[in-house]
Amino acid sequence: MKLDITSFTGEVPWLDSHLLEDTQAEAAIDCRLTNGSLRAYYQPADEQVLNATPQSIYLYRNEGQRYWFDWTTDVDVIRSPVADDPNNRVYYTGTVKGPRYTDNGLALSGGSDYPVNDHQLGMPEPDMAPVVTLSGTPLEDAQAVDAETRFYTYTWVDENGREGPPSLPSGEISVLPGETVNLTLASGPGVVDMNITHFRVYTSTQVGVYQLCTQINSLQGNSGTVATDTPVGVTSVVDQTPWDQRGGILKTIGWIAPPNDLQGMVVLPGGVAVGFSGKELMFSEPYHLYAWPAAYRLAGEYDIQSLAVAANSVIIVTDGYPYVAFGTEPSAMTLERLDTAHACISKRSMVDMGDMALYASPDGLVRIAGGRADLMTRNIINPEDWRERFQPETIHGCFHDGRYFGFYGDANNSPDKKGGFIFSPDSGTFTEIGTYADACYRDLQDDTLYLAIGDTIKAWDKGSDLMPYRWRSKVFQGKPALFSLARIMADSYTDLVFRVFRDEQQILELPVMSDRGFRLPAGRGSRWQFELEGTDTVTAVIVASSMAEL
């Protein structure tokens, strides 16, 4: 009798060990399974030590330098969608201070715990409407023309030129040629976490359409300063703008700040950011990520847990049914519920896999692609074992090399209750990782998966030494059989141990030194199992009853 294991594949916990295919494993831990052979990963390489154990990490690049941002909360980060942004902004949600943004000036100055500084995302609305009065003398022939009926409003502008939503409008005022309008305004936006430096005044001759006043006299000094932008702190100004010299139309009506509990920020092609709060899906103004109009919001039936982007659509997973939102612009998005009821039970488990998204449900890993939801691990692990072994409510994941890297367990778990796994949606291969990471981040530029293990960031599979694997075969079960010889085919024999189990008892542990056959302890058994541990690349295991068969 002879057994040939000439290809190595991953685990299928869904099946009892004796029902597995000959190439499948009862246990495959830290195994690199490529081209049918059994290989070792390299040890993770130390990258940087942090001040604390993070939940989220992000590699920020600026002028050729690398900086690690880290947070102790679950934070979602996106880069500025503006091409060649000179400020190199990034935006994020999930901090204790709400939605934030930072740039190369704020993030890197004044310390080394990055980002050092950031600002709140969203511009405030002035909380005082303008108070208007007339001044000046009408021209001699002014009575021959109709007075112009106006309304005024104003907006705050920050140091980067971002303009916020307008104040409530002033009362109505009628103005004749030769007359000017005095405005009394708020002295500033109050306590805000941003640098608002100026304000702009607009006037309207029809309800809802405002034009920029380009000649505002700030009444500073003897003659005053006439300009479009007026410094914050000036509370009395005069509109001296001729009727034919008004500027562009006010565009920021409805551009309100995002809610403080905005989460899960991702970005669509076309520069539209997407986030959620409770059951509401929210969209930003294109390329103006501080503006989140209420008119762009959609509501579902269930609390949203996480988001991912696929082409021009948003994948939304909830504590009930998943949804897909699609459309060409934020004002015309459509929300569609998928018919498969797979709830997401861990926000951090949601991973954008390119043309699909994967997340943890109570029954296994779910894939959403092409408007469909499928339970990808249906034939790999049953729901009861999934919930008991992998604690899906704690899973967080990353996409790397076409595979899903998942880590389970949390601060309340003992070390033996934490771990990780790798799942390939293409091949269905499932292996375990002997390393637990508190956070993970995939960097596209260097195609590297980074893991935060405690307070240290490490680069997966980038170390100089190999990491030992352990691969245990299925149980070969049948009539009592006598296996007396074995042979291991490998590329090298520097670190390789072979173990044999007969009827649940270990009968051999042997360092393998060459491809020559060797004898096994005598005896028959009904259940045989074989295990390899080490770092050498193995291509075959042959077990036989005679030398001729070997």
Is residue 229 over pLDDT 70? yes
The predicted model gives 9-34 an average pLDDT of: 88
Do 132 and 172 form a contact (C-beta atoms < 8 A)? no
Q: Where residue 221 falls among pLDDT bands split at 50, 70, 90?
A: low
pLDDT at 15: 80
Q: Which pLDDT does position 5 carry in this prediction? A: 85
Q: What is the pLDDT of residue 424?
A: 92
Q: What proportion of the chain, given as a percentage, has pLDDT over 70? A: 98
pTM of the model: 0.91
pLDDT for residue 428 is more than 80: yes
Residue 296, number of CB atoms within 10 A of its CB: 20
**In sequence order, which residues have a C-beta less than 8 Å from that of residue 204 and are 6 or more positions away?**
150, 151, 152, 153, 169, 210, 211
Q: Where in the chain are all domains bearing CATH 2.130.10.10?
A: 49-98+257-459
pLDDT value of residue 411? 65
pLDDT band at 20 (very low <50, low <70, confident <90, very high): confident
What pLDDT score was predicted for residue 200? 98
User: 3-class DSSP state for residue 472?
Assistant: strand
User: What residues contact residue 61 under an 8 Å CB cut-off, 6+ apart?
Assistant: 67, 445
Residue 6 pLDDT > 90: no
User: Average pLDDT, whole number, for the chain?
Assistant: 93
- Phi, psi dihedral angles at 177 (to 5 degrees): -55, 135
Dihedral pair phi/psi, residue 417, rounded to 5°: -105, 10
The answer on pLDDT for 267 being more than 90 is yes
Cα of 254 vs its chain's centroid, Å: 27
Say what the pLDDT of residue 220 is.
65
Residue 270 has a pLDDT of 92
pLDDT tens for each residue of 449-466: 999 999 999 999 999 999
SS3 percent helix, strand, coil of the chain, rounded to 5, is 5, 45, 50
Residue-wise pLDDT tens digits, 381-424: 999 999 999 999 999 999 999 999 999 997 677 777 899 999 99
Read off the pLDDT of each residue in 322-350 and give the average, rounded to a whole number. 94
Tens of pLDDT, residue by residue over 42-71, are 999 999 999 999 999 999 999 999 999 999
Fold topology of 2-40+468-544:
Jelly Rolls (2.60.120)
For 466-496, write each residue's pLDDT tens digit: 999 999 999 999 888 888 999 999 999 999 9
Residue pair 289/273 in contact by the 8 Å Cβ criterion: yes
Distances (CA, A) of 535 to 69, 115, 402, 466, 515: 34, 39, 23, 6, 16
pLDDT value of residue 222: 53
- Whether the pLDDT of residue 283 is over 80: the answer is yes
pLDDT of res. 311: 80
Percent of the chain beyond pLDDT 90? Answer: 80
**Intervals of CATH 2.60.120 along the chain:** 2-40+468-544
Q: Which CATH architecture has domain 49-98+257-459?
A: 7 Propeller (2.130)
- Cis check for the bond before 115: say yes or no (omega within 30 of 0): yes
Question: For residue 190, what pLDDT is reported?
Answer: 85
